[in-house]
Amino acid sequence: MVNNSVLITDSGINKVSGGGIVSLNLAESLQECTNLRYILSTQKFPDNKYNDIEAFSINPNDYGYSGIDPFFIDYMAFHLIQKEPTELCVTYGCPFGLTIEELKREFFCKVVCDLAPHNIDISREEHMKFTGQYPYPHLTDSMLWGLYSRHLRFADKVVVHSHSSAEYIKRKARLKEDPVVIPHGCYLPENTPAFPETFTSSYFGSVGLDKGITYLINAWLSIPQGELLIGGIEAQNFRLEDKYMSRFKVLGHIENLVDFYKQTSIYIQPSIIEGFGLTPLEAMAHGRPVIVAEGAGMSELVTDGKDGFVVPIRNVDAIRDKIVYYRDNPDEITRMGAEAKKTAKKYTWDIIKKDYIKIYEELL
C-alpha cells in the first residue's frame, strides 16, 4: 500500500444520510488498497480528523460565507489540497474541475469521478410544472454547464450507479468512454424485523419535487384508509391541510433505520428522476417489498412482480393500484419481502466496495 490517495466529497461521512453512506464506503474502499492521506468534505470534523485521517471542511459556511455553491466548494477544495504527491483522487458529487486540474498538473494524479446524474430536462419539467422556475442555472446555462461538467472529461474513470444514468451522462457531458456502472450498496440487519400488525406503507428521504412525493400523496389520498409513514430530516417540512394529515405519520431524524423499517409493510420510491435511490435497497435488505418508479436508477435492480413493482413516473393510478394489491394480498408481502432480501444480499457494501477497489487497482 504505497499509493497516496485523497477523497473529496460534497457530502459528510456518516451512516445516516444517503450521500454520507456512499462517501463512507468510498473512504473505506480507498483505505483498503491505498494510503488515504486526507478527506475534503462539506462536513466539519472535530480536530480536523476522521479516524486518524486528516479531514478538512470545504463548506463555505465554515469560512463565513452563506449558501452552498458548487463552484465555491471546488474553489475551497482547490486551496485546501495538500502539496505532496497524490497518485489517486476520488471525487463524489460536486464538480471539482479546478482541484482535479491542479492534481493532474502537479502529480499526474489518476482521477475517479463518482456521481449520480439526473436527467436535467425531466427535472426542469417537474419544477416548471409546480413552481414556474428552475433554480439551478449551472445545469441549464450552456457556459455554466460547460464549467460544471468539465471535471468529467478530465477523469480517468467516471462512475455512476445505473445504466440509465450512464447513457444519459455520456451523451449530456459528451464523454468519450462509457461510464462504469456500480450500484450503491446496503447493510444487512442481523435479523429481519417482523412486519407490523397493521398494513403500513412508507417513504423516507427528501420531499423535493424530483422525488415525486406529490404523486405518492395523491395516490395515498385516493385510498380510503391506512397510514403512510414519512421519515427523514426533511419530513418536518411535510405539511398538508389538517383534514389530510391524519392519514400520515411524520417522523423526523431517525438515527437507526431499523427502527423505521420495522414500522412498515412496504416501501415506496416515486422518484421522477434519481441517479439511484438508496432507501428502496435498504428497505429490501430489511425484507420489505417495494414500489419503485422508473425514474429511480435503483429500479433496475427490482424484478417486477418478484421482489417489488416498477411503475411509470408521475403515474398516480399505478402507485395506488400496487399499494392496494399489497394491502389486499398480505401473503404477497411476505413472499415478495423474502425475495427482496435475497436481491439485497447481492448488493451489500462489502460486495460493492470490491468493485471500487478493482477500479482503483487497475488505475494504479
Q: What is the pLDDT of residue 255?
A: 76
Q: Say yes or no to pLDDT of 117 above 90.
A: yes
Interval 228-244 mean pLDDT: 75
Q: Say yes or no to pLDDT of 253 above 80.
A: no
147 and 61 within one domain: yes
Q: What is the pLDDT of residue 235?
A: 63
100 and 55 within one domain: yes
Sign of CA dihedral 295, 300, 301, 306: positive
CATH classification of the domain holding 276 = 3.40.50.2000
| Residue 346 or 66, more confident | 346
First to last CA, the chain: 11
206 and 151 within one domain: no
159 and 33 within one domain: yes
Cell for 336?
415478495
Interval 302-318 mean pLDDT: 98
84 and 220 within one domain: no
* Span 190-217, pLDDT tens digits: 899 999 999 999 999 888 889 999 999 9
157 and 29 within one domain: yes
324 and 354 within one domain: no
Q: What is the pLDDT of residue 224?
A: 86
Would you say residue 232 lies in a domain?
Answer: yes
Residue 43 to residue 9: CA distance in whole angstroms:
9
Would you say residue 192 lies in a domain?
Answer: no
Q: Please name the residue ranges forming H helices in the chain.
A: 18-33, 70-80, 97-107, 120-130, 137-140, 142-154, 163-172, 213-221, 242-245, 257-261, 278-285, 316-328, 330-345, 349-363
Q: What is the pLDDT of residue 15?
A: 85
Would you say residue 279 lies in a domain?
Answer: yes
233 and 96 within one domain: no
Break the chain down into helix, strand, coil percent, rounded to 5.
Answer: 45, 20, 35
Range with lowest mean pLDDT among 67-81, 266-280, 290-304: 67-81
205 and 119 within one domain: no
Q: Say yes or no to pLDDT of 333 above 80.
A: yes
Q: Say yes or no to pLDDT of 252 above 80.
A: no
Would you say residue 209 lies in a domain?
Answer: yes
Cell for 250?
411524520
Q: What are phi and psi of 175, to 5 degrees?
A: -80, 145
Question: Counting Cβ atoms within 10 Å, is residue 203 exposed (0-12), middle (13-18) or buried (19+)?
Answer: buried
Q: Say yes or no to pLDDT of 131 above 60.
A: yes
Inter-residue contact 133 to 152 (CB < 8 Å): no
* Span 41-99, pLDDT tens digits: 999 888 889 888 999 999 988 888 876 688 989 999 999 998 889 999 999 998 999 99
Cell for 343?
436481491
* Span 151-161, pLDDT tens digits: 998 899 999 99
Interval 238-256 mean pLDDT: 79
Q: Say yes or no to pLDDT of 1 above 60.
A: no
Q: Say yes or no to pLDDT of 237 above 90.
A: no
Any idea which residue has 471535471 for its cell? 151
Cell for 117?
446524474
Would you say residue 131 lies in a domain?
Answer: yes
Would you say residue 340 lies in a domain?
Answer: yes
Across the chain, what does the average pLDDT equal? 92
Q: What is the pLDDT of residue 64?
A: 83
* Span 11-22, pLDDT tens digits: 999 887 889 999
Percent of the chain with pLDDT over 90: 77
Any idea which residue has 471542511 for its cell? 57
Would you say residue 273 lies in a domain?
Answer: yes
| Residue 225 or 155, more confident | 155
Which residues are CB-contacts of 116 (< 8 A; sequence separation ≥ 6)? 160, 161, 165, 274, 275, 276, 297
Q: Say yes or no to pLDDT of 240 above 80.
A: no
Q: What are phi and psi of 187, to 5 degrees?
A: -105, 135
78 and 23 within one domain: yes
Residue 205 to residue 314: CA distance in whole angstroms:
18
Q: Say yes or no to pLDDT of 241 above 80.
A: no
Number of domains observed in the structure of the chain: 2
Q: What is the pLDDT of residue 234?
A: 63
172 and 27 within one domain: yes
Count of H-run helices and E-run strands, the chain: 14, 14
Q: Which of 132, 300, 292, 302 shows the shortest CA–CA distance to 212?
A: 292
Would you say residue 54 lies in a domain?
Answer: yes
Q: Report the relative pairing of strands 49-50 and 53-57 from DSSP bridges.
A: antiparallel
When pLDDT is cut at 50, 70 and 90, the band that residue 263 belongs to is very high
227 and 210 within one domain: yes
Question: Counting Cβ atoms within 10 Å, is residue 107 exposed (0-12), middle (13-18) or buried (19+)?
Answer: middle
**What is the domain extent for residue 102?**
4-185+348-363
Inter-residue contact 306 to 255 (CB < 8 Å): no
Q: What is the pLDDT of residue 242?
A: 75
Q: Report the relative pairing of strands 35-41 and 227-231 from DSSP bridges.
A: unpaired
Interval 106-121 mean pLDDT: 95
